[in-house]
Amino acid sequence: MGREVKVVRWGEVGTPVVFFPTAAGDAEECERFLLVDALGPLLEEGVIKLYSVDSVPGMVWLKEDNSTPTATKAQAGFDAFVEHELVPMIARDCGADDPKKLDIIATGCSIGAYNALAAICRHPDLFQSAICMSGTYELSKFIDGDMDEAWYFASPLHFVPNMKEDHPMLKKLRERHILLSHGTGRWEDPAESWAVARVLGAKGIPNHVDEWGDEWDHDWPTWRRMLPSYLRSRLVD
């Protein structure tokens, strides 16, 4: 991507979990907003090994240039970084000789939920599941200009419906699971989750929308409650 990208890790053993920050958040955002503290018991028990990475595309869109093709080039570069640098680095850190055997969980909130969704939809061979919280999935809210090829292939809302039945990635996606959660409080947009669920469901991709109540806003207190609960339910209970 023509720049350094920071990756931070918490924990020594356990299932690798990749956290994608909010819009222009950096790799340490989840620690500043106390999500790492909320995940502390799972880290201490050796259930998870948490990785977080700079949200480079969001930094470009919100701080540098949000027009096509610059914005979409940044997203395409980030996807290549995830596939060719981030996941292999996690494999080395976990002592695995094959990244495809790691069963990495992708997660994130707000635009980070979009990045988690994009990661598993584009690379279901590298990610076993995704936990997408309070997601913003329609990139036109951030990108200015007409959709180009990079934007199309970055957007699950657009490329997933057109995947052919014999596409190997669709077959693999049908073996995965995507959780779409949101509150119904301030700043939340439940329609975003349901739009994704309809796209995934139409292609036979396992997914579930988990809607929380009006007291749960599009904010860190909600995500601090959601993520530990989902991870414990999936990996321990």
pLDDT digits (tens, 9 = 90+) for 141-168: 999 999 999 999 999 999 999 999 999 9
> Average of pLDDT values for 42-71?
96
Q: Is the pLDDT of residue 105 over 90?
A: yes
Rg, Å, the chain Cα set: 16
Give residue 173's pLDDT.
Answer: 98
Domains and CATH numbers, the chain: 7-235 (3.40.50.1820)
- Do 125 and 98 form a contact (C-beta atoms < 8 A)? no
User: Which pLDDT score, from 0 to 100, does residue 237 have?
Assistant: 83
Q: What is the three-class DSSP state of 226?
A: helix
Is 165:215 a contact under the CB 8 Å cutoff? no
Task: Please report the pLDDT score of residue 130 as a whole number.
Answer: 98
Residue 73: predicted pLDDT:
96
> What's the rounded mean pLDDT across residues 88-101?
93
Q: What is the mean pLDDT of residues 91-114?
A: 95
The residue type at 59:
M
Q: What is the mean pLDDT of residues 13-41?
A: 97
With a cut of 90, say whether residue 1 has pLDDT above it. no
Beta strands 48-53 and 7-10: pairing type?
A: antiparallel
Strand partners, 86: none
130 sits in which H/E element: strand 127-133
Instruction: Determine phi and psi for 214, rounding to 5 degrees.
Output: -65, -20
